[in-house]
Amino acid sequence: MKILAITACPVGIAHTYMAAENLQKAGEELGIDIKVETQGSIGVENALTEQDIREADGIIIAADKEVSKDRFIGKKVIITGVKEGIRNPHELIKKIQNGDVPVYRAELKSADEIKGQRKQKENPVYKHLMNGVSYMVPFIVVGGLLIALALTLGGEQTPGGIVIPEDSIWKQIESLGSTAFMFMVPILAGFIAVSIADRPGLVPGMIGGYIAANGSFYGSEAGAGFIGGIIAGFLAGYIALGIKKIKVPKALLPVMPIIFIPIVSSVIVGLLFIFVIGAPVAQVFEGLTSMLAGMQGASSILLALILGAMIAVDMGGPFNKVAFLFGSAMIAEGNYDIMGPIAVAICIPPIGMGLATFINKKKYLPNEREAGKASFTMGLFGITEGAIPFAAQDPLRVIPSIMAGSMVGAVIAMIGNVGNKVAHGGPIVAVLGAVDNVAMFFIAALVGVLVTAFMVNALKKEVAVDLPVSKGMEKKEVAATIEETAEPMEITKLTDIVSEDLITTNLVAETQDGVIDELIQKFEDAGILYSKEEYKKAILEREAQSSTGLGMNIALPHGKSNAVKRPAVAFGIKRKGVDWNSLDGTEAKLIFMIAVPEQSAGDAHLKILQMLSRKLMDERYREKLLQVGSKSDAIILLDEVQ
C-alpha cells in the first residue's frame, strides 16, 4: 500500500515539519510506503508527482491553511488539521488501510459564493478600459521616443522652431514615430473589445477605433480621438458579445467567431459611427482639446494641481491611471503640455521618499532605509509604485506628503511650459530627449521632491528616540548601535548565534512566565538587548497569538523587536517540565528562546525556527539534550543543528 500526505500550518515552520516527521515514522512502524509533501515557509518540499498520485491508495492532508485539492479528484482523501498529523498519525494511516475514507469529488460552490466572488472582482468597465490602455501605451512610448530622438539628433533650429530636413534619415525615423501614433486609437478600441468579447471583438473594435480617429468618415476635420476610441471599443465589444449569445445551428458554430460575428459587428459599429456617433463626439473632443490647449493662468494651475494629486494619491492605482491616460491621449492630439506636469508628478513620490530616508535616517528603520534606495532608483525611471511600501506602512503621514510634492512639481512644470512627447515620466524621459524645456523639468521635479522629503520627515517621529533605553545608554548611542548592526548576519548553524553564556542546563523558574524571564535575563547579561522589557512584550504578544509549545517536551518562544541588537538563541532545560499549553499536552523541558531584530526578522527567525524544528523531530537527539550535564556538552550537541 502507498499513502501520500501533505502537511502545512499557517506560519509554515515547526508544526508543518513535526506533522511530516510523525506521519513518516508512523508509516515506517506500520510497514506502509508513505511520502510526505511539506508546504512550509520556504515553499513546497518533497513535492508529490503525478505518478505518485496515480499510484497512491489514499492521501492525508493535515493542514491548517488552504491546500489545493484539485489534483486528488477521484482519490480517497482525509482532510484534517495539522494537530491530528502530530498527535494521531497512526490512526490517520489506519483509516486509509481500512478503507474508511471518502473519495474526493470536485467541490461545487453555491450561488451565493459565486456572487460574492464576482463582487470582489474589480469594476468590469475599468478592467476593460485598462486592458485597452495596457496595449495602447507601448505604441505611444515608441512613437514619442522615436520622434524625440529624431528631433534631438536630426533637428535644426529655424525661426519657426526645430525642423528635420526632408532628405535626412531622421525624417524617416520621425515618420516611424508618427506611424506608431496612428495605431494608438485603433489598438485602444480593439483591446477594449477583446476584453469584453474575446477574439471576436478584435476586428470590429479596431475598425471602429480607426473610424473614430479618422474624421473623414463622418465629415469632420478632426477625429473623435481617444474618447471616440473608448466608445468604439465598448460598442464593438458588447455588440460582439450579444451576437455570441444568439443561438444558431450547430453547423454555423465553427464559423461564427471568425466570420459572422466580426462582419456583423464591424458593419454595425462602423455605420453607427459614420452616421450617428462620430461627428458629435468629434466636436466634443475637439472642444476639449482646444480648451486644454488654451488653458492659461489660474485654470492651467488648477488642472496641474488635480493631475498631480491624482498621480500621487494611489501610486499606480485607478486615479493614477486615469490621469496618465488623459495625458497620453493629449500626446496623440499633439498637446504635450499636459503630459509634462504628469511626467514630473510621476517621479516625485518614489524619489521624495528615497531622499527622505537619506536626509534623516533616525526616522526610518534599516529595512526602510534599504527600501528608500530602491524607491529612489525606481523614481529615476518613472515608477511611482516605489513609494507604495512607505505609504502602506504609514499612510496618514506619507500620502499627504507625496501628494503635496507632486502637486507642487506639476504646477511648476505647467507654469514653466514643460512638455513631454512620451507616455512616461521621470528623469529618464528628459535624458532621452522627449521633454521640452528640460531645465524647468528638473527644477519642478527637484522642488517637488524636496517638498515631499521635508514634509514627511517633519510629520514622522524619530524611530531611535522611541526605542527603550537600558543600562544608562543615551538615546543617541542606541541609534548609533542600530546603525552599526543593521547589516544582515549570516546564519549557517545554531552555534553561530548561541554560546555557553546563553545556556542554562537547570532552569530554576517553575512557571512559563518565570522561565521566560530567566531566559530573557540571559540575553540581557550577554548584551543582546537594548531593553528586556520591550523584548518581553514581543515574546508575550507572540504567545498570545498561539502557544509556542510544540509538543514532545519542546517550546520555541520567539520575538522580533527593535529592542534586539542581533539574532541570538538562549537555551534552557527544565528537567521536571513546565506547562506551556503544548499541542500534545506535554510539559516543556527543552526551551529555545529566539531573539531577532525587527529589520532582519523576515530571514533570520524563519531560518532559525526551521533549523530547530527539523533537528528536534529526532527523538534520540532530544533524549541526548535532556541528558546533558554541562554547558560545554550542550554546545557540542547544538553544533549539530544546521
> Catalytic residue at 558?
yes
Q: Which amino acid is at 585?
A: G
Measured in degrees and rounded to the nearest 5, phi and psi for residue 590 equal: -105, 110
For 337-406, what is the HEC assignment?
CCHHHHHHHHHHHHHHHHHHHHHCHHHCCHHHHHHHHHHHHHHHCCCHHHHHHHHHHCHHHHHHHHHHHH
Q: Please say whether the dihedral angle defined by the alpha carbons of residues 39, 40, 41 and 42, taken in this order, is positive or negative.
A: negative
Catalytic residue among 128, 424, 558, 605: 558
Residue with cell 510539559: 587
DSSP-assigned letters across all residues of 47-89 = PPPHHHHHH-SEEEEEESS----GGGTTSBEEEE-HHHHHH-H
- C-alpha to C-alpha distance for 304 and 326, rounded to whole angstroms: 12
Of 367, 334, 96, 71, whose CA–CA distance to 223 is shortest?
Answer: 334
Residue with cell 462582419: 263
**What is each CA distance from 361 to 196, 416, 461, in whole angstroms?**
49, 33, 11
> Catalytic residue at 128?
no
Q: Which three cell numbers stand for residue 46?
A: 518533497
Euclidean distance between the first and final Cα of the chain, in Å?
34
Of 567, 599, 565, 569, whose CA–CA distance to 489 is shortest?
Answer: 567
Give counts: helices (H), strands (E), the chain. 27, 15
Task: Calculate ∠ Cα 158-444-300, nearest 5°.
Answer: 80
- C-alpha to C-alpha distance for 93 and 5, rounded to whole angstroms: 10
Residue 121 has a CB neighbour count (10 Å cut-off) of: 8
For 485-505, what is the HEC assignment?
CCCCCCCCCHHHCCCHHHEEC
Q: Which three cell numbers stand for residue 192?
A: 477594449
- C-alpha to C-alpha distance for 297 and 308, rounded to whole angstroms: 17
Cβ distance 304 to 414 under 8 Å? Answer: yes
- C-alpha to C-alpha distance for 181 and 422, rounded to whole angstroms: 11
Q: Which three cell numbers stand for residue 35?
A: 511520502
Catalytic residue among 9, 347, 424, 605: 9
Q: Which amino acid is at 561?
A: S
Q: Which three cell numbers stand for residue 209?
A: 477605433
Residue with cell 485598462: 130
Q: Which three cell numbers stand for residue 188?
A: 485602444
Catalytic residues: 9, 558
